[in-house]
Structure 1
Amino acid sequence: MIVVLGSFDGFHKGHQALVEVARDASDRMDMPWGVMTFVPHPQIVLGNGCFVPLFTDSERDFIASFLNIPDFIKIPFSDVKDLNPKDFIEELGSRYKVRGIVVGKNFKFGKNRSGDVEFLKSYLTKKGWFFAAIPPFKIDGSVVSSSLVRQLVKKGYMQQTEAMLGYPYFIIAPVTEGDHRGRKLGFPTANLLASELKLLPPKGVYATAVLAHDRWWCGALNIGYNPTFERGDEIRIEVHLDQFEGDLYGEMIAVLLLAHIREEKKFESAEGLVVQMKDDVDRVREICRPWFYRREGLLFSLKGCWKSYEYRLKVTNYNRISR
């Protein structure tokens, strides 16, 4: 088996270049291939406690399906974090039948990150394994990296984030019941229960594409504290689906973040908020409709992956409950 090896906090265009190298090598050598990563993310274990992943493990499964990765292998990081580079490679060969590795040129591995590309090239050549180390992927002179994507998300630069990922930054989460205030104001919202292990962009209103009830909707997403009505310190994530009628309670939905519209603000009255929400929805339509047209192929592919992803989620939840 040929594996693309890395932490893969999301799958940006640099990661996708590695995937294509493994896919091509698999075809030439008539050998299965896949992507191998670690859970939890090594920085969660080794960092200072401040690291929050771009995508949850479940969201990474969805991306892997979208990228047509046939085998997405997640190794418990605790099983390998103390192995030296040689023992780590031998573990991959014996336990996972690995016979080829693709990495980025800056890849480090093994205890204390003591293994590098030069070691891999030398050691794997002696073993007769396939090996490829791919140079950094650049867009407009900037190296595409998870760190750069994280910076863009933290600033709310969603268009630039999409350019680096090749698809919009997204949130997959279940819909929970809220206080129904949006419905009373004429703008019902779906309240999302997002994971704590999920990096969120800054507070504010975003234009989004929402996959729910087997179709795409224009959506106005708010991330914040609802300052017009609340004084709490708990972040709330709510999305209004334009022209949607019905309930989504208990369902999983996917929300693609397309653009930041405005900052969150406190209004003097509910009436003032309603006027602003009407403007927000108009702006969302202006952004979403041409984007839907430009990215029709992407939306079709994501929707196709969603059905199998939903099924796997249901099976996983059933098995968890049945234990």
Structure 2
Amino acid sequence: METFKNIDFYTAKKPLALSLGMFDGVHKGHQFIISHLNKIAKEESLESALLTFWPHPRTFFDPDCELKLLNTLEEKISLLEKNGIQNLFLQKFDDDFRNLTGEEFVRQILIEKLNVKYLIIGYDHTFGKDKSGDFNLLQKLSAELDFTVAQLPAVDFHDKHISSTQIRNALSNGNILKANEMLGYNYSLSGKVIDGKKIGRTIGYPTANLEVDSLKLLPKNGAYIVEVFHKNKFYKGMMSIGTNPTVEGKTKTVEVYILDFDKDIYGETLTLNFRDFLHEEIKFENLEKLIERLDEDKILTEKFEF
């Protein structure tokens, strides 16, 4: 997959089959669009392409918003490549771009700049200043500008449309199984192992503290069963997200206890896949009660079918 981080310098004129949007999560709804896009590209002798935005437009319009994303930019690029996209265009969302009307965007960006011959959009997609671009506008312009446009229906999960917002809500409620089903893969995060308070090692449960991208959405505070990948090797793990109230912690941390693992990995990067929710964050009466619960969690993690 070729990734173009500044389309101002893009000069290729190869005809494209393209879709556009944030694609946060690259979930089953996005995968449906991408699959159709790749099929059309092959049938029409075009190259498949996506145009996405960075940063998220919502953070541009409201810099104080606390929107967290399902994917870091690196994760999104990796997921899109795995789904077979040939070209990825990253459009910086700035004042110049936000002021393009829907029609200007189609003419100047999609047709003149990118040479789009087949455009696919989702069921509710709008674009351009004041959301002036939609499927009706695209149909109107398609004959004049010589491109084909198609609008695909939503993909449903339990009678609701799959969306990035739905998945964020599921994760914020600790509903890992629901989120994973809508994603079509296990929600994951990566982080560098950093120094912590080292309390875990004093109670037989040494943890790796992770430094996670500040834009990445963390599921709700609590304990989770996770898959841990270190240097492409898989381990079972128990993750804790929260403030460690039993030891009067104040700062939110992300920690993982890795089963059957004893290596010095400070400064290294771990990737974790969320598999299930164990329990809410708990303030125990004492460390003995905490250890009892960790022992129970370990048994559940060992028995979990990965």
TM-score, normalised to structure 1's length? 0.85
State the 1:122 CA deviation: 2.0
Aligned partner letter, 1:13: K
SS in structure 2 opposite 1:69? coil
1:235 is displaced (CA, Å) by: 0.7
Q: Secondary structure of 2:249's match?
A: coil
- Equivalent positions of 1:227-306 (< 5 A) are 227-232=245-250, 234-287=251-304, 290=305, 292=306
Q: Are the aligned partners of 1:35 and 1:72 in contact in 2 as well (CA < 8 Å)?
A: yes
Distance, in Å, in 2 between the alignment partners of 1:160 and 1:30 is 38
Is the aligned partner of 1:205 residue 2:223?
A: yes
Number of aligned residue pairs: 288
From the superposition, tell whether residues 63 and 23 of structure 1 become closer, same or farther in structure 2 (CA, over 3 Å): same
* Pair 1:91-2:109 in alignment: yes
Higher helix share: 1
Provide, for residues 102-158 of structure 1, a one-character-per-residue CA deviation record: whole Å limited to 9, x for no partner.
110210000011111111122123322132210111123221111111111111100
Asked if the contact 2:111/2:145 (under 8 Å) is kept, the reply is no
Shift of 1:177: 2.0
1:137 alignment partner, one of 155, 161, 165: 155
After superposition, where does 1:302-313 map in structure 2 within 5 Å?
none
| 1:7 alignment partner in structure 2 | 22
- CA deviations on 1:197-226 (whole Å, 9 max, x unpaired) are 122111100011111121121110000001
Q: In 2, Cα distance between the equivalents of 1:130 and 1:285? A: 53
1:268 partner letter: E
Q: Are 1:63 and 2:74 an aligned pair? A: no
Partner secondary structure for residue 91 of structure 1: helix
Structure 1 residue matching 2:197: 3-state secondary structure: coil
Q: TM-score, normalised to structure 2's length?
A: 0.89
- Unpaired runs of 5+ residues, structure 2, are 1-15
Residue 25 (structure 1) aligned to one of 17, 37, 40:
40
- Distance in structure 1 (CA, Å) of the matches to 2:285 and 2:157: 44
Q: SS of the counterpart of 1:228?
A: helix
**1:110 matched to 2:125:** no
Contact 2:18 2:119 in 1 (8 A): yes
Indicate conservation of the 8 Å contact 2:226/2:272, yes or no.
yes
Residue of structure 1 aligned with 2:99, choices 82, 85, 107? 82
CA contact (8 A) 1:205 1:221 kept: yes
User: For structure 1, which segment, 93-102 or 119-128, has the greater mean C-alpha deviation from structure 2 after superposition?
Assistant: 93-102
Give the whole-Å Cα distance in 1 for the aligned partners of 2:285 and 2:168.
34
Question: Cα deviation per residue 1:2-51 (whole Å; 9 max; x = unaligned)?
Answer: 22211112111111110011100111111111221000111111246132
How many angstroms does 1:66 deviate by? 2.8
Question: Cα–Cα, structure 1 residues 195 and 107, in superposed 2: closer, same or farther, change >3 Å?
Answer: same
Residue type of the alignment partner of 1:278: D
CA distance in 2, matches of 1:239, 1:147: 27
Report the AA paired with residue 63 of structure 1. Answer: L
Residue 40 (str. 1) matches residue 32 (str. 2): no
2:171 aligned partner, one-letter code:
V
Q: Separation in 2 of the partners of 1:239 and 1:253?
A: 10
RMSD: 1.6
Partner AA of 1:86 in structure 2: E
Tell me how far 1:165 sits from its aligned partner.
0.5
Could you tell me how far apart the structure 1 residues matched to 2:157 and 2:67 are?
A: 25
